Structure formats: structure tokens, C-alpha cells
Amino acid sequence: MIHPTAIIHPDARLAPEVTVEPYAVIGEHVTIGRGTVVGPHAVIDGWTEIGEENQIFHSAAVGGRPQDLKYKGEETWLRIGNRNIIREFTTLQPGTVTGDGETTVGNGNLFMAYCHVAHDCHVGNGVIMANASTLAGHVMVEDHAILGGLSAIHQYTRIGAHTMVSGGSMVGQDVLPYTVVSGNRASSSGLNVIGLKRRGFSDELVRTLKKAYKILIRSGLRLAPALEQIERELPMSPELQHFIAFARGAKRGICR
């Protein structure tokens, strides 16, 4: 159903079963998949590709010009997957030619009211960004991370899988997978044990990750020897391999 007050460019591509509510605006280069609902007064613009069964609430701004003074109107993209919930006044912006050229959002994410995802960010699957949490440019957020309300993530920072960023945190370095961080500037306060168990991690795996965390964060060792000790002493699993690879890939340092 498309409300007669909605303004839709004739070249926009809307699949069957898309709902567009009153006074929404959809631009020329927009593609929207089956079953997506665009709420009243929402604006979807730019080169934006939206998948199926997304819910975009009223006054969300999706695909507008990135807030980067170097952007001069080039064709850059915002690509959004399926079954995302984008609440009121959330802003999601495309990439830039000086970055990756696209911003990507996976499947099943929740962006609560007033969230901001800046240019060249990459958000995985099952991520929750609570009210007014903010990603600066070039941020990567892995699957099932949770960002508390009013938290802010510095540009080029990575947020690991299954992490919890406490509300109001200012994050300036990478957040290791499976951990909890808080504060300004954010520091690590332990493993996200409750979150891991809710996601079905076994007790044995949680114990192993806790040991790896203690070696890396609490032992006082530098990064390289700490990771070598983890590889030498602990039973390897895909989750632990990801923990190690993520730490080795840190360019801004890690929250400790």
C-alpha cells in the first residue's frame, strides 16, 4: 500500500508488498525489497538498497548525504539487508569515495530512536544500538554486539562480536569480541558472560574465553607474547581463533 501523500520518484524501484505511509519521500536511486514498511515522514534518498521485511519508522533519514565535507555528490551506496528495525529519527548514511564507497547493514538489527550510522560503516547481523548511540565514520560492528544508549564510537574503531558497550561510553579503541566495556574513555571490565550464555555458548567455551581474556588483558604482557601464550596453552576453537585474529588486527589499540 502506498499512501497518496507519499512522494516517490518515478525511477525508484519498489517491490510488491512494500508499504509507504503518509508524507514519506523516496528518491530516484532507491531500491526497496518485498514487505518493507516505510513510515510517515521518513526520507529515503541517495543510492540506497534496502532488502525485505524492514521496518522504517517515522522521520527516519536513510541514505542522505554523508556528513563529510569531502563528499561532492559521487555515487556511493548504503546497502541494508533484511528484517531490520530502524526507529524514529535514526540516520544511516552512504559511504564516500575516500572510504569504502559504501555503508553496509546486515540482517535483523535494531536501531533505536536517534541512532546514527555514519559513512563507510559496516554493521553485521543481530546488532542492537540503543537510543542515541552513534557510530562515527569507518566503524565496523560485528554480529550480536550491543551498544548502550548515548554511547559513541570513534572513527575507524572496531566493535567485536557479542560485546556489550555500556550506556554513555566513549569508545576510542577496538573492543575485543565477547567482552564488556564502559567509561570515558572506555576500558574493559570483563567477559560478557551473561550475553554469551544467552547466545548458547557452552560453559566450557566460556571458561576458555575467560582464560584467554585474563592472559591478554590482566597478565601485564604485551599483545604479541600474550597472544602467543593463548595459542600455546588453550584449546583452539573458531571463537578463540576469532578472538586472536581480531586482537592481532587492531590498529587503534584495544580497550584494556
Active site residue 9: no
Which of 29, 119, 144, 162 does the annotation list as catalytic? 119
Residues of 89-116 as b/e, b for ≥16 C-beta within 10 angstroms?
bbbbbbbbeebbbbbbbbbbbbbbbbbb
Identify the burial level of 234 via C-beta atoms within 10 angstroms of its C-beta, where 0-12 means exposed, 13-18 middle and 19 or more buried. middle
Which of 45, 68, 120, 143 does the annotation list as catalytic? 120
Which residues partner with 122 through β-bridges? Answer: 104, 140
- DSSP letters, 146-206, are EE-TT-EE-TT-EE-TT-EE-TT-EE-SBB-TTEEEEEBTEEEEEE-HHHHHHTT--HHHH
Are 102 and 122 spatial neighbours (Cβ–Cβ below 8 Å)? no
What CA–CA distance (Å, rounded) separates 67 from 198? 37
CA distances from 129 to 42, 126, 185 (A): 19, 10, 19
Question: What is the distance of C-alpha 59 from the center of its chain?
Answer: 20
**Distance, first Cα to last Cα, the chain:** 51
Which of 81, 124, 126, 137 does the annotation list as catalytic? 137
Query: Which phi and psi (to 5°) does residue 81 adopt?
Result: -80, -140
Active site residue 119: yes
What CA–CA distance (Å, rounded) separates 59 from 212? 44
- Active centre residues (catalytic): 119-120, 137
